């Protein structure tokens, strides 16, 4: 059994979904692991990780619109607003999504569906650099 650890840094331009599938595939390929498990973790409380459709950009736009309605910025019920109107809403959006993903590696490939991609979902309006830690265990 072998293990590999790595990190990917993603620069965001503000709120939205940023695909990292290629970077993750490259990391898995370089590891040489044929069968195992990849775990990804984003080390932030105002951004998340999701597996989502990567063919039609309307899906990503619709997700953003839905979350705008579900978790609006600058809601008067929020107390935590120290970093601005999108501060608490970003934390709630992260709590409703994922900070960790686990993906099976089979025959050296990620077991993703045809239209699935891996995304960092930035929940803040301002640009940030987000760190995603990767861990592979397998043979």
Q: What pLDDT digit, counting tens, does each position of 94-131 carry?
A: 999 999 999 999 999 999 999 999 999 999 999 999 99
- State the Cα–Cα distance between residues 24 and 30, nearest whole angstrom: 10
Number of structural domains in the chain: 1
Percent above pLDDT 90 for the chain: 100
Q: What pLDDT, in 10s, does the model give residues 14-29?
A: 999 999 999 999 999 9
- State the Cα–Cα distance between residues 61 and 106, nearest whole angstrom: 31
Ramachandran assignment for 40, one of left (phi > 0), alpha (psi -120 to 50 degrees), beta (any other): beta
pLDDT score for 131: 98
CATH number at residue 65: 2.60.120.460
pTM over cut 0.85: yes
- State the Cα–Cα distance between residues 135 and 27, nearest whole angstrom: 10
Percent above pLDDT 70 for the chain: 100
**Domain-located, residue 110:** yes
Q: Domain of residue 24: give its range.
A: 16-132
**Domain-located, residue 137:** no
**Domain-located, residue 5:** no
> Any idea which residue has 């993603």 for tokens?
10
């Amino acid at each position: 059994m072998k293990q590999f650890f790595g990190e990917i840094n993603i620069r965001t331009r503000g709120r939205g979904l940023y695909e990292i599938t290629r970077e993750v595939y490259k990391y898995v390929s370089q590891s040489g692991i044929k069968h195992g498990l990849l775990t990804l973790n984003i080390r932030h409380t105002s951004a998340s990780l999701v597996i989502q459709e990567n063919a039609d950009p309307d899906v990503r736009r619709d997700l953003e619109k839905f979350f705008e309605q579900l978790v609006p910025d600058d809601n008067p019920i929020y107390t935590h607003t120290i970093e601005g109107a999108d501060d608490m809403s970003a934390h709630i959006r992260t709590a409703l999504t994922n900070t960790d993903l686990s993906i099976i590696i089979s025959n050296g490939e990620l077991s993703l569906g045809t239209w699935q991609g891996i995304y960092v979902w930035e929940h803040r309006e301002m640009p940030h650099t987000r760190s995603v830690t990767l861990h592979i265990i397998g043979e």
